[in-house]
C-alpha cells in the first residue's frame, strides 16, 4: 500500500468505527473525517465541499420536501380515510398498512413514508385493540422494502445511480431498480405478513402503553356556516361530521351577534350559524373541505390575516409566567395586536364549553393559534406560550391531491424522458408546490434532514479519494486474491452479504458510498459488467433489518413499539437470508455478467 492508500484506508476504518459506535452523530463524524482527509492531503482543499452541489445530495433533499408536500396536499389523509372505511381484521389490517407504506416508499423517501403512516397505524391499533408492536416493525420493514424498487425510494439508490454516472457517463433511470426490487419487496412483504410478525417477542405484543404517545387534546373551536354550504336546512344528525366521529362533539350554536345556546342533533342548520364544537383539529379538515364550513378565530376586523401561502397554525401551552394568565380574549387581542388569533382552546382536566370570546385563560391551557409563519414564533415568546411538538395541523389548507399527484408524476415523466435531470425536475415540482400553496417556504427548510445531507456531502469527497488513491483497486484485488477470480457469482454474493451486515451498524447512505467503488473495482478486475455489483450493493445497503440503528425507519418505531435492541434480528435475520437467496439469481438474470 502507498502512504496515501494507508491514510485514506485509516480514515475510512475510523469513520466506520465511529459510525458503529454511535457516540457522535453521523454528520459530525463525516465532517470530521472529511476535514482530516483534507489536512492529510488525500482530498484537495478545492474539492472538499463539492459534495454539497452533487446531484445525489440535491435529489435526497428534494425527495424529503416533496414528501411533505404530498402530506400537506391530503394524499396520506385520503389513504387513511380509505383504510378506516375498509375496517379490516387484524391480519388484513397488518397486510393493508404494510402494503400501503411499501407502495408509498417507492415514490417518496421511505423514512418520510413511514413518518406519514405512523400516526395512522397508531390510531388503527387503538381502534382495533391491537398492540402497536405487532404493526410497527412490519411497517418499518415494509418502508425499507418499498425503497428498493425505484431510484428515489431510498438514498442508497440515488447514490449508486450517481456513482454509475461518474464511472460510465450514464446513470440508472427511475425504474431500473424495479426488476430486482419489486420481486424482493413482494416476497419480503409476504414473509412479513404471514410469518415475520409472529417472531416478535410475545412480551412486546401485550403492551399498549405507547399508544399514549399519540394521544392528543381536543379543542373548543368554532366553525361558521357559509351561504353556499350544502348543509343549510339539514339536521345536525345528518351531517357526516357528527356521524360516528367520536372526536367531534357539538356543544351549541350561536350567531355572530348572540351567545351560544344548547341544541340537540335535530336542530336544522341556518346560514351564518356558528357551530361550537369540541374536536381534535386533525379530524376537522376533511369536514371543512366537504361541507363548505369556515374555521373562525378570535380576531377583530383589524387582524392582518395572512394569505394561504404564509398562514400557519401552532399549538402552545400557557406558562405560569405568561401575561395571559387570568386574562381574556380582549387582552390577547391588545397584546398581540394584528399578528395572531386564537382558533381553539383545550384545558386539561376540565371540559371547556363557553365560547372562546368568553374564556379566562389559565396556566396550562393549550391554545391553537393562527398567525404569519415568519412572526408566529416571536409572538409565542411575547405571549408566554411554550410551543408543543409539531404535528400536522392543516386546517388552513384545502386538499389538493390532484394537483400534488399531477405535479409529482409530471416531474418523474420529465426525468424519465431525459428532458431535464431528476434533481431539476424535483426542484421544479417544489416550486409549483410553493406557488400553489401546497407547501410553505418555511417547511422547505424544516423538512430537509440536514444531518443526512451533511453526511452525504462530506463522505462523497472521501469516497472519491478512495478512487484517486487507487485504494478501491487494492481492496478489490485483495478480495479477489482471497476468493479467486474464477467465480464472479461468489464475489457478488460476498459483496451483497458484507454490504448487508455493514448497513446494520452503519448508516445505509454511508454504506453505499463506501461499497460502490469496491464493487466496481472488483467487477473491472474480473472483466465483467459493473451493473450486477452496483445493484447488489444497492440492495444490501438498504436491507438493514438486524438492528434499530442501521436504518432510520427502524429507529423511528423503536419507542412507539416498545421494542428492545435485540428484537429486530429475530424478524430481520430470516428476511435478510430470504433476500440473499432470491436476489442473486434475479441480479444475474436481469443484469448479466
8-state DSSP, 261:
B
Half-sphere exposure at residue 99, Cβ-oriented, CA atoms within 13 angstroms? 12
| DSSP-assigned beta bridge partners for residue 253 | 261, 275
Residues 6+ apart with CB under 8 A from 481: none
- Which CA distances in Å does 500 have to 458, 508, 515? 22, 9, 11
The SS3 of residue 314 is strand
Shared-domain flag, residues 257 and 281: yes
**Residue 284 falls inside a structural domain:** yes
**Residue 316 falls inside a structural domain:** yes
**Residue 367 falls inside a structural domain:** yes
Shared-domain flag, residues 288 and 318: no
Distance, in Å, from the CA atom of 251 to the CA atom of 354, rounded to the nearest integer, reads: 9
Domain edge (last residue) among 352, 387, 422: 387
The SS3 of residue 328 is strand
Query: What is the helix (H) or strand (E) element at residue 225, kind and residue range?
Result: strand 219-225
Query: What is the helix (H) or strand (E) element at residue 340, kind and residue range?
Result: strand 340-346
Residue 566: burial class (beta carbons within 10 Å; 0-12, 13-18, 19+): exposed
**Residue 265 falls inside a structural domain:** yes
Shared-domain flag, residues 317 and 282: no
Shared-domain flag, residues 321 and 287: no
Distance, in Å, from the CA atom of 327 to the CA atom of 306, rounded to the nearest integer, reads: 25
Please give the backbone phi and psi of residue 248, each rounded to the nearest 5 degrees, phi first: -125, 115
Cell numbers found for residue 334: 391588545
The total domain count for the chain is: 2
For 297-327, b/e burial (b = at least 16 CB within 10 A) is bbbeeebeebeeebbbbbbbbbeeebebbeb
**Residue 246 falls inside a structural domain:** yes
Distance, in Å, from the CA atom of 444 to the CA atom of 292, rounded to the nearest integer, reads: 29
Of the candidates 64, 23, 43, the one whose C-alpha atom is nearest the C-alpha of residue 452 is 64
Other C-beta atoms closer than 10 Å to the C-beta of 286 total: 18
**Residue 204 falls inside a structural domain:** no
Shared-domain flag, residues 367 and 329: yes
Of the candidates 196, 178, 181, 177, the one whose C-alpha atom is nearest the C-alpha of residue 575 is 196
Domain edge (last residue) among 230, 265, 295: 295
Please give the backbone phi and psi of residue 156, each rounded to the nearest 5 degrees, phi first: -55, -35
**Residue 544 falls inside a structural domain:** no
Please give the backbone phi and psi of residue 304, each rounded to the nearest 5 degrees, phi first: -90, 85
Distance, in Å, from the CA atom of 256 to the CA atom of 275, rounded to the nearest integer, reads: 11
Domain edge (last residue) among 295, 329, 363: 295
Other C-beta atoms closer than 10 Å to the C-beta of 367 total: 27
Shared-domain flag, residues 227 and 284: yes
- Which CA distances in Å does 370 have to 154, 374, 388? 35, 12, 14
Domain of 348, in residue numbers: 311-387
Shared-domain flag, residues 290 and 324: no
| DSSP-assigned beta bridge partners for residue 370 | 313, 341
Shared-domain flag, residues 288 and 331: no
Distance, in Å, from the CA atom of 345 to the CA atom of 351, rounded to the nearest integer, reads: 10
Does this model's pTM top 0.75? My answer is no
Query: CATH code at 383?
Result: 3.30.70.1450
Residues 6+ apart with CB under 8 A from 333: 298, 299, 300
**Residue 138 falls inside a structural domain:** no
Shared-domain flag, residues 283 and 240: yes
**Cβ atoms 85, 120 nearer than 8 A:** no
Going residue by residue through the chain (593 aa), what tens digit of pLDDT does each one get?
788 889 988 988 888 788 767 677 778 888 998 999 999 998 899 888 888 887 777 877 887 788 778 777 777 667 666 766 665 678 888 998 999 899 988 887 777 677 667 767 877 787 778 888 888 899 999 999 998 999 888 888 988 998 898 888 888 888 899 999 999 999 999 999 999 889 988 766 665 444 443 344 567 777 888 777 778 888 877 776 666 545 577 777 887 766 667 777 788 888 888 887 777 666 666 666 666 677 776 655 555 565 655 677 777 788 777 888 888 888 887 777 667 788 878 776 555 556 777 788 887 778 888 777 777 777 887 888 877 644 445 555 556 778 888 888 888 788 777 788 878 888 999 999 888 888 877 778 776 777 778 877 887 788 778 778 888 778 777 877 777 767 889 889 989 998 888 887 666 777 888 888 888 888 888 889 999 999 999 999 989 898 776 677 886 677 667 787 678 889 999 999 999 999 999 999 999 98
Distance, in Å, from the CA atom of 214 to the CA atom of 98, rounded to the nearest integer, reads: 20
Shared-domain flag, residues 290 and 326: no
Distance, in Å, from the CA atom of 507 to the CA atom of 15, rounded to the nearest integer, reads: 11
Shared-domain flag, residues 285 and 348: no
Shared-domain flag, residues 316 and 259: no
Residues 6+ apart with CB under 8 A from 445: none
Amino acid at each position: 500500500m502507498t502512504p496515501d492508500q494507508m491514510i485514506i484506508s485509516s480514515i475510512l476504518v475510523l469513520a466506520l468505527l465511529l459510525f458503529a459506535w454511535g457516540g457522535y452523530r453521523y454528520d459530525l463524524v463525516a465532517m470530521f473525517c472529511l476535514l482530516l482527509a483534507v489536512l492529510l492531503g488525500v482530498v484537495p482543499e478545492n474539492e472538499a465541499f463539492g459534495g454539497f452541489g452533487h446531484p445525489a445530495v440535491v435529489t435526497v433533499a428534494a425527495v424529503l420536501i416533496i414528501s411533505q408536500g404530498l402530506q400537506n396536499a391530503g394524499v396520506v389523509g385520503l389513504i387513511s380515510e380509505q383504510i378506516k372505511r375498509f375496517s379490516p381484521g387484524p391480519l388484513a389490517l397488518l397486510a393493508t398498512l404494510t402494503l400501503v407504506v411499501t407502495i408509498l416508499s417507492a415514490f417518496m423517501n421511505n423514512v418520510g413514508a413511514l413518518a406519514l403512516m405512523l400516526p395512522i397505524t397508531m390510531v388503527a391499533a387503538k381502534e382495533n385493540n391491537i398492540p402497536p408492536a405487532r404493526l410497527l416493525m412490519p411497517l418499518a420493514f415494509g418502508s425499507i422494502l418499498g425503497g428498493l424498487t425505484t431510484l428515489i425510494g431510498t438514498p442508497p439508490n440515488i447514490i449508486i445511480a450517481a456513482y454509475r454516472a461518474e464511472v460510465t457517463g450514464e446513470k440508472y433511470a427511475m425504474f431500473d431498480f424495479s426488476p430486482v426490487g419489486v420481486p424482493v419487496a413482494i416476497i419480503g412483504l409476504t414473509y412479513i405478513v404471514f410469518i415475520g410478525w409472529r417472531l416478535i417477542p410475545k412480551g412486546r405484543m401485550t403492551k399498549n402503553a405507547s399508544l399514549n404517545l399519540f394521544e392528543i387534546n381536543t379543542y373548543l373551536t368554532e366553525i361558521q356556516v357559509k351561504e353556499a354550504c350544502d348543509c343549510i336546512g339539514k339536521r345536525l344528525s345528518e351531517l357526516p361530521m357528527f356521524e360516528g366521529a367520536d372526536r367531534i362533539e357539538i356543544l351549541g350554536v350561536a350567531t355572530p351577534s348572540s351567545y351560544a345556546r344548547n341544541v340537540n342533533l335535530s336542530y336544522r342548520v341556518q346560514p351564518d350559524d356558528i357551530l361550537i364544537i369540541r374536536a381534535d383539529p386533525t379530524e376537522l379538515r376533511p369536514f371543512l373541505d366537504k361541507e363548505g364550513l369556515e374555521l373562525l378565530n378570535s380576531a377583530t376586523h383589524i387582524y392582518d390575516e395572512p394569505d394561504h401561502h404564509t398562514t400557519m397554525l401552532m399549538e402552545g401551552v400557557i406558562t405560569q409566567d405568561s401575561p395571559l394568565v387570568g386574562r381574556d380574549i380582549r387582552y390577547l387581542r391588545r397584546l398581540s395586536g394584528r399578528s395572531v388569533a386564537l382558533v381553539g382552546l383545550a384545558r386539561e382536566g376540565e371540559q371547556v364549553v363557553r365560547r372562546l370570546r368568553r374564556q379566562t385563560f389559565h396556566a396550562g391551557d393549550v391554545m391553537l393559534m393562527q398567525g404569519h409563519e415568519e412572526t408566529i414564533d416571536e409572538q409565542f415568546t411575547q405571549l408566554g406560550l411554550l410551543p408543543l411538538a409539531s404535528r400536522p395541523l392543516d386546517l388552513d389548507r384545502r386538499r389538493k391531491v390532484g394537483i400534488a399527484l399531477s405535479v409529482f408524476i409530471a416531474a418523474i415523466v420529465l426525468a424519465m424522458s431525459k428532458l431535464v435531470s431528476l434533481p431539476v425536475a424535483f426542484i421544479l415540482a417544489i416550486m409549483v408546490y410553493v406557488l400553489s400553496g401546497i407547501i410553505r417556504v418555511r417547511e422547505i427548510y424544516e423538512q430537509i434532514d440536514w444531518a443526512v445531507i451533511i453526511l452525504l456531502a462530506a463522505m462523497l469527497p472521501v469516497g472519491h479519494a478512495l478512487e484517486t488513491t487507487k485504494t478501491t483497486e487494492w481492496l478489490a484485488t485483495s478480495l479477489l486474491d482471497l476468493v479467486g477470480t474464477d467465480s464472479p457469482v461468489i464475489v457478488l454474493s460476498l459483496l451483497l452479504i458484507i454490504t448487508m451486515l455493514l448497513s446494520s451498524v452503519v448508516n445505509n447512505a454511508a454504506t453505499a458510498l463506501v461499497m460502490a467503488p469496491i464493487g466496481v473495482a472488483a467487477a473491472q478486475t474480473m472483466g465483467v459488467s459493473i451493473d450486477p455489483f452496483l445493484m447488489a450493493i444497492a440492495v444490501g445497503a438498504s436491507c438493514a433489518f438486524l438492528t434499530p440503528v442501521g436504518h432510520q425507519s427502524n429507529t423511528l418505531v423503536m419507542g412507539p413499539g416498545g421494542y428492545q435492541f435485540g428484537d429486530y434480528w429475530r424478524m430481520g435475520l430470516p428476511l435478510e437470508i430470504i433476500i440473499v437467496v432470491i436476489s442473486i439469481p434475479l441480479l444475474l438474470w436481469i443484469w448479466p455478467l
